Amino acid sequence: MVKEMTGNHIPLGLIGISHNTASVEIRDRVALNEEEQKKAIKIISEKFGVEGCMIVSTCNRTEVYISCEDPKNEIPKIRIWLDEFKETTYFNNDQLIYEMYGTDAVKHYFQVISGMDSLIVGETQISGQVKEGYELAHNLELTDSLLNKLFNFAMQVKKRVRNETYLCDGTVSISFAGVELARKIFNSLKDKEILVIGAGKTAELAAYHFMENDMKKIHVVNRTLKKAQDLAGSYNGQAYGLDELPVILKKVDVVISATSSEEYVVTAELMHNIAKERHHQPIFLIDLALPRDMDPEIQEIDGVFLYNLDDLNEIVEMNLKKREIELPKSHKIVDEFVMEFQKWNANNSMASIAGRLKKQLDTLRMNEIDRLKNHFPEDGLNEINLLTESIINKVVRQHIKSLKKNASDPERFQQHVDLIYNLYELEKD
Amino acid sequence: MKLFSQILSYTLPFLYLAVIYFYYLIFLGKDKRLISKTTPMLIILLILHAIEIISRHVAIKAIPLSTTHDAFSFLAFSILFVYMILELSLKNKGSGLFILSFAFIFELFSSFNVSWTLETNPLLQDPSFAIHASISIMGYTALGLSALYALMYILQNRNIKKRNLGKLFNQLPAISYLEKMSMRSVMIGIILLGIGILDGHFQASDVMGSFWLNDIKVIVIDAVWIIYVIGYFISRLMKWRGIYMAYFSIFGFLFLIIGGSLVIYLSESFHVFY
């Protein structure tokens, strides 16, 4: 296979559906689970003229990357096959699908792994999912040197974007915003106890995020004790009735409230007394209820930090804006790596051309020596061999030197490659 | 050597400023790459400052701790040193701007007070003077850091209370951590300054024949130290809230510094007793 003979310099193609083009229902429908991915990679590799194939499939995107001589020729066929495979028509709907080739596909892959193209810009989960997609194909031995190198470069892009920009910094989920704030109050949550007031879905989710961050103990207070016991039981915690609230408030560090009560569950007066008894040791209150469970006046009490749903939403919005600001810096890093990848690809092509050219010229040389060997004295044949070999090496080197000069200009590079192939009648495969 | 030391003395404040500017950029979140470059800068600054102290020691052929210049220079150096250890161990660079600015003030003050006239007080000839001076300065450093941590505590507490969750909030550590560091520094400061003061009294007793010198400087420093001790124990006993402790730490140190500075300027030398 002669990769350098393709039209777009880097012989890479991609077909995808993502949150940018399709609704969640469609994305769900086209998503490929692990088994489907394995099957698809195997079939695409066998059935179509591709050298390497890998898939990125998450709830927000399904993308198939192929490496082959002419991806523009193969992608339409793969689109038809994918629709047959998933029993849909989406892969052939131009409104939903995007195709990219060469450097555009490389750039897109780099942007995907670093979270720049994610629904929530800067999310970090995607890099793990991209890695899984690559490893799955790699373990099946269905990635070629181009895809291997692409992944290798992509990992470096991800690392630099995370180290050199604030794109992935700051939480963008309300629950995590609460956890992050708690860390700014208590530093470590390991020896801290949490009280959850209410046992509904919201309370449960918030409790889950805090307990995931190694909090020492959970206490659950609820009007219906049974529900409190169920939630507390999931984390080996303790359950209480609502009447025990003042006692528990004295010993906990974080309080999450998410009840459907029409009145304040935690009043300013109650909290004043509690703060006094706690010697104003810090306590972090999160009011996730609508209408509110906690009297806003509580905020004025020394040592008490009260945040409600709107406050946490504001933090998330602020962090998202900060991430948007970091996008240009991240694009710059991606562009740098795309150029590096182009160089690598050009060098890789050069090595392949050099090998073919040398082989072709060697064949010509050996043919000529064979034809004329009777005209030379026997003891001079060795010198002639050495001399002609040296001339060939110099010719090859001269071509490579000239190719290197054009490596940064894909069009001129390609013209030069074509010239060499035509001039020396090199075999394309 | 004298010229070299003098040039370095005048250059150091600028170097401190350069490093502070670096931390300012980190504080603004301009370029995340800068974060990984602070440690080498701190080490270089620390080495240069150490060279300045050593070169001065060689030039004056005495322990460079007796003059105002030396005391403030050593104070800045020890703040820088303690901060570097904190930064390396806690991996938090958010307080760098504050702590290094604090060290810079002392370094600047030191540079404006370069003096090559050695004091002839017999107290300074005593070999244990170096112990007294260095331990006392380390004590001041700890109390100074405590005040800084307390200031950061107040700022961060206010940030979280008022929902000012901007750059300052992001860069400053957690309030519990700041409170703990402030308290620990006060404790270390009290112990070190206590040892330094006691050592000074013993020296006075040996050289001048009196344990209690009836001198305003000694009275001021001893009084501040006693206030610190009493304040600290009361705060522990009464379980003072963080904000009160923070104000105690800040005002205690301000009193110490203002009192000490006044004493230095009102008298011929810190080590001339009446």
Instruction: Say whether A70 sits in a helix, a strand or coil.
Output: coil
Min Cα separation B39/chain A (Å): 16
Distance CA A401, CA A399 (A): 5
Q: How many CB atoms lie within 10 A of CB A333?
A: 22
Q: Where are the beta strands (DSSP E) in A46-178?
A: 52-57, 61-67, 98-101
Distance CA A346, CA A359 (A): 20
Query: At residue B31, does pLDDT exceed 80?
Result: no
Residue range A226-246: average pLDDT? 92
* Residue B274 binned pLDDT confidence (cut-offs 50, 70, 90): very low
pLDDT tens digit sequence for A24-67: 999 999 999 999 999 999 999 999 979 999 999 999 999 999 99
Of A187, A299, A315, the CB nearest to B177: A187
ipTM score for this prediction = 0.79
Distance CA B160, CA B169 (A): 8
Q: Flag whether residue A183 sits within 8 Å of chain B, measured between CB atoms.
A: yes
Query: At residue B10, does pLDDT exceed 80?
Result: yes
A392 CB-side CA count, 13 A? 20
Question: According to the model, what pLDDT value does residue A146 have?
Answer: 92
Kindly report the average pLDDT of chain A as a whole number: 90
Query: At residue B271, does pLDDT exceed 70?
Result: no
Residue range B161-174: average pLDDT? 87
Specify the higher pLDDT residue, A346 or A237: A237
Distance CA A344, CA A147 (A): 12
Nearest to A122 by CA among A181, A168, A186, A90: A168
Query: At residue B273, does pLDDT exceed 80?
Result: no
* Residue B272 binned pLDDT confidence (cut-offs 50, 70, 90): low
Nearest to B231 by CA among B203, B255, B198: B255
Q: Flag whether residue A407 sits within 8 Å of chain B, measured between CB atoms.
A: no
Residue range A354-380: average pLDDT? 87
Question: According to the model, what pLDDT value does residue A148 have?
Answer: 94
Question: According to the model, what pLDDT value does residue A241 have?
Answer: 92
Specify the higher pLDDT residue, B89 or A226: A226
* Residue A3 binned pLDDT confidence (cut-offs 50, 70, 90): very low
Q: Flag whether residue A184 sits within 8 Å of chain B, measured between CB atoms.
A: yes
Cβ within 8 Å, pair A164-B33: yes
Query: At residue B270, does pLDDT exceed 60?
Result: no
Q: Flag whether residue B168 sits within 8 Å of chain A, measured between CB atoms.
A: no
What percentage of chain A has pLDDT greater than the value 70?
97
* Residue B158 binned pLDDT confidence (cut-offs 50, 70, 90): very high
- Are A424 and A361 within 8 A, CB to CB? yes
Residues on chain A touching B161 (C-beta within 8 angstroms): 299, 305
Specify the higher pLDDT residue, B15 or B256: B15
Question: According to the model, what pLDDT value does residue A129 have?
Answer: 95
Residue range A76-98: average pLDDT? 94
Residue of A nearest to B172 (CA): A184
Query: At residue B217, does pLDDT exceed 90?
Result: no
Min Cα separation B182/chain A (Å): 15
Q: Flag whether residue B32 sits within 8 Å of chain A, measured between CB atoms.
A: yes
A59 is catalytic: yes
Question: According to the model, what pLDDT value does residue B59 have?
Answer: 81
Distance CA A36, CA A55 (A): 10
> pTM of the full predicted structure?
0.73
Residue of A nearest to B173 (CA): A184
pLDDT tens digit sequence for A178-223: 998 999 999 889 899 999 999 998 888 888 889 988 889 999 999 9
pLDDT tens digit sequence for A103-118: 999 999 999 999 999 9
| A193-197 and A254-257 strand pairing | parallel
**One-letter-per-residue 3-state SS of B166-234:** CHHHHHCCCHHHHHHHHHHHHHHHHHHHHHHHHHHHHHHHHHHCCCCCCCHHHHHHHHHHHHHHHHHHH
Going by the DSSP 8-state scheme, the letter that residue A142 receives in this structure is -
Q: List the single best residue of B155, B184, B241 to mutate versus A (max A Cβ within 10 A).
A: B241
* Residue A5 binned pLDDT confidence (cut-offs 50, 70, 90): very low
Question: According to the model, what pLDDT value does residue A361 have?
Answer: 93
Min Cα separation A94/chain B (Å): 40
Question: According to the model, what pLDDT value does residue B123 have?
Answer: 62
Sheet holding A61-67, edge to edge: A52-57, A61-67, A12-18, A98-101
Question: According to the model, what pLDDT value does residue A69 have?
Answer: 81
Query: At residue B45, does pLDDT exceed 90?
Result: yes
